């Protein structure tokens, strides 16, 4: 909502728009804040081990970035991946939506933490969430299956490689 206050300043009329947004941000400039209150969400915590992530426990998020403090798993139909989030009770912390989860549906978010025990103690809490849409993060380089094949070839003994060279020469001549 916008309210307009009028003040007389040296015989001229000065109009100062004041906007008080749902996030509680007061902007005297008239600019709109890009933070939008999304409502109250169920907030849980997760960690990157098998107890939380099962077979996907590789330390990386769905978007390809490394799981770390500040990462949040969201339902991308509710909060787009790459968005920034502020969560009630986390003063000054800006989270980033970089992960998804099988149990994260609708108005639920999962905040990453390094300790499984802490995640269990946290439980489920209801908190207000503000969102600022953003760009999807660029993935960090993940090792492909071919990188692992290269590692295996490096560990092959030299005499085996030399023996393969003779076989290849014989096939080429043949």
Chain centre distance of CA 110:
10
Sign, CA torsion 44/47/53/59: positive
What percentage of the chain carries pLDDT values higher than 90? 46
Closest CA to 42 of 131, 98, 136, 106: 106
**pLDDT tens per residue across span 115-124:** 999 999 999 9
Quick one: CA torsion of 160, 164, 165, 168, rounded to 10 degrees?
180
Position 143 pLDDT exceeds 60? no
Position 21 pLDDT exceeds 50? no
Out of 28-32, 47-51, 96-100, 106-110, which region has the weakest mean confidence (pLDDT)? 28-32
**pLDDT tens per residue across span 33-58:** 789 999 999 999 999 888 887 888 88
Enumerate domains of the chain plus CATH numbers. 1-33 (no CATH), 36-132 (2.40.40.10), 143-174 (no CATH)
pTM (predicted TM-score): 0.62
């Amino acid at each position: 909502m916008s309210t307009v206050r009028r003040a007389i300043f040296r015989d001229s009329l000065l109009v100062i728009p004041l906007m008080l947004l749902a996030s509680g941000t007061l902007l005297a400039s008239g600019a709109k804040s890009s933070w939008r209150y999304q409502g109250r969400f169920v907030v849980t915590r997760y960690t990157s081990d098998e107890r939380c992530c099962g077979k996907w426990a590789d330390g990386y998020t769905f978007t390809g970035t490394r799981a770390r403090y500040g990462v949040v798993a969201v339902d991308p139909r509710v909060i787009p991946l790459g968005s920034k989030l502020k969560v009630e009770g986390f003063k000054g912390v800006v989270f980033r939506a970089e992960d998804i989860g099988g149990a994260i549906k609708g108005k639920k978010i999962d905040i990453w933490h390094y300790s499984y025990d802490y995640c269990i103690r946290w439980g489920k809490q209801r908190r207000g969430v503000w969102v600022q849409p953003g760009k999807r993060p660029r993935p960090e380089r993940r090792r492909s299956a071919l990188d692992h094949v290269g590692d295996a070839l490096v560990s092959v003994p030299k005499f085996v490689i030399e023996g393969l060279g003779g076989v290849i020469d014989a096939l080429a001549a043949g």
